[in-house]
Amino acid sequence: MTLKPRPAPDLTHSRDPAVSFDSVGLRYGRGPEILSDLSFDLPSGSFHFLTGPSGAGKSSLLRLIYRARQPSRGLISLFGRDTALMPRDALPGLRRRIGVVFQDFRLLEHLSVFDNVALPLRVAGQPRTSYADDVADLLAWVGLGDRMHAHPASLSGGEQQRAAIARAVISRPELLIADEPTGNVDPAMARRLLRLLVELNRLGATVLIATHDITLVRSLAAPVLELADGRLVSQPRAA
Q: Tell me, what's the pLDDT at 2?
A: 54
Residue 100 has pLDDT above 60, yes or no: yes
d(CA 215, CA 198): 16
Asked whether 176 and 208 are in contact (CB, 8 A), the reply is yes
Q: Tell me, what's the pLDDT at 7?
A: 44
Q: Tell me, what's the pLDDT at 63?
A: 96
**How far from 47 is each of 19, 73, 107, 204, 205, CA to CA, in Å?**
12, 26, 25, 10, 8
Of 31-35, 71-75, 89-93, 96-100, least confident by mean pLDDT is 89-93
Name residue 180's amino acid: E
What CATH number does the domain located at 19-86+94-234 have?
3.40.50.300
Mind listing the pLDDT tens digit for each residue in 25-56?
Answer: 999 988 899 999 999 999 999 999 999 998 89
Residue 13 has pLDDT above 80, yes or no: no
Mean of the pLDDT values across residues 83-96? 89
Q: What is the DSSP letter of 174?
A: S
